[in-house]
Structure 1
Amino acid sequence: MKWASFLMLPLVFTIAAAANIPLLYVGVPMAAALSVTHGFLPPHPGPTAIATIFHADMGKTLLFGTILAIPTVILAGPVYARFLKGIDKPIPEGLYSAKTFTEEEMPGFGVSVWTSLVPVILMAMRAIAEMILPKGHAFLPVAEFLGDPVMATLIAVLIAMFTFGLNRGRSMDQINDTLVSSIKIIAMMLLIIGGGGAFKQVLVDSGVDKYIASMMHETNVSPLLMAWSIAAVLRIALGSATVAAITAGGIAAPLIATTGVSPELMVIAVGSGSVIFSHVNDPGFWLFKEYFNLTIGETIKSWSMLETIISVCGLIGCLLLGMVV
């Protein structure tokens, strides 16, 4: 989700500035859509990994996930954003330029779109290759290397240096000045996000997940609610949605055989639980805070509550679908 946010944020800033509306009024729906995809829908790595653990049908998982995703995005996005209009923060300095460019200064539409989509194309290529190619295939390491988020973003920057720089008659000194100023703007944000990730890893390595697993196995509740609860507790304790989802998937897998519950709904239940209440041990929390220029309290009110709405809506949707599936 973090890498998708990096790609979408310039568009959010532009829309908010052009329409003269609060930044969160645009940012919250964007974040809701990305977070729902992160938790509910294959081929995102989290739901895909859980579906593999549960031996769930990928097509049914995508169908059920889409059915639940639409109302969830509406509630957590545009509807909840209306309650946040009072939080009207300026766009962080340096992340948006109000300069008006002439037609001669701007690259063509096709070049602009293609350059922006390079990281998306490379990461999608990796996801597709991992799904359709057998292990050991010669192209798989190439796809994994090029589709790594860091490498895909680096390749996009190098291409942009040509398409938006050298190809437009700019010198390497001018391009270098642009790159340096960009790094200065986001350097502190990257350090804060990295610190949050390090704190998350400390919790993972401490074995908190094993303690939570043993505690949850002693509870006798609905398998969907159990799976959601395990993922939710792990998410709050560890910070990483993907780690919480995969760990909860391994813990909850025996419930499918013993209860006969739909494995596809179990995938969505675990995915829903894994996105609940992002807070200070989640790098995404700090990314949202810094990019939207919020205080910690405002970030909890917006980002953390948005994630919780998505999680609870996913659970309720799973329980309702479970009555008819």
Structure 2
Amino acid sequence: MKILITGGAGFIGSNLCEYFRNKGHEVTCLDNLSTGFEHNIKDLLDKENFHFIKGDICDLNTCKDAVKGMDVVLHEAALGSVPRSIEDPVKTNRNNIDGFLNMLVASRDEGIKRFIYAASSSTYGDNKELPKIEHNIGRPLSPYAITKFVNELYANVFADLYGLETIGLRYFNVFGQRQDPNGAYAAVIPLWVKELINHRSPVINGNGTYSRDFTYIDNVIQANELAVTLSKENIIKRASLYNMNLPGNAPLDLVFNVAYGGNTTLLNLFKCLRENLSRYDSEISTIEPKFRENRKGDIPHSLASIEKAKRILGYLPQYSATEGFEQACKWYWKNLQ
């Protein structure tokens, strides 16, 4: 297939670029390098069947040029981070909603078969029900969460009105190789790993009892591959077994949780990272965390039901959070030295 991956120089996008290109697909990466990095795709730049376009999804013409000749779009480009969205909601909205709409319009006009996009667990908002089930969301708690919810609404409309096949993958706290440990909006795992490697105490927001369904990057790659390769007919057949009635002529518009299906408290996360990194440097075992008040917009607990993805996509995550922590620490120890 010819696959366009937006945000392809970012953490998740670059892993997808590498995987699909190595599987024999022709991959084009679109990224403006605002939060992605060319070094994430440096090993691909001189390879056959890989193309890099430096461009911005906020420009409709750039989007239209990028989708030409493509079979599938994997839309990963977005401005992440709840705190960033609270500080600058306008910029978050422009990238995550305007940019998303540009990609939908460009894909519709080009006749793209399927549009697969990075949705977010933040969409569940203040819904306290655990585990999180796709059809039961709450009130968004941040501008970022609002943008990701609006993405799902737009995808639904474009499926209904224009017949564009859309699949949203609600990522739950993805982590792994190439996740950036630097900057004001670094995610918790690479940030804490960097602190521990440098013999500094990581800071835990709250008392450490908040929990997350941490999801290793290889599980996310698996979900994306299934979303790319499964035929509409197979999806409809499996959906009927999941008590979802999807007529053959109905538009394809589905959303799936992509997670491991287990949760880890922040305090246990710290202990796991410290234990793994102590194998390389025994001094790390003596480091203790610091604590501060909870951040605005954070949800207390996140735990996904992955039954829908299992039954319809055939998603079977291969890495638990604990196994992923070990792999991530090994990669960071090698690459942050």
- Scaled to the shorter chain, the TM-score interval is under 0.3
Structure with max Cα Rg: 1
| Higher share in strand | 2
Structure with greater contact order relative to length (CA < 8 Å, sep ≥ 6): 1
TM-score (norm 2): 0.25
| Higher share in helix | 1
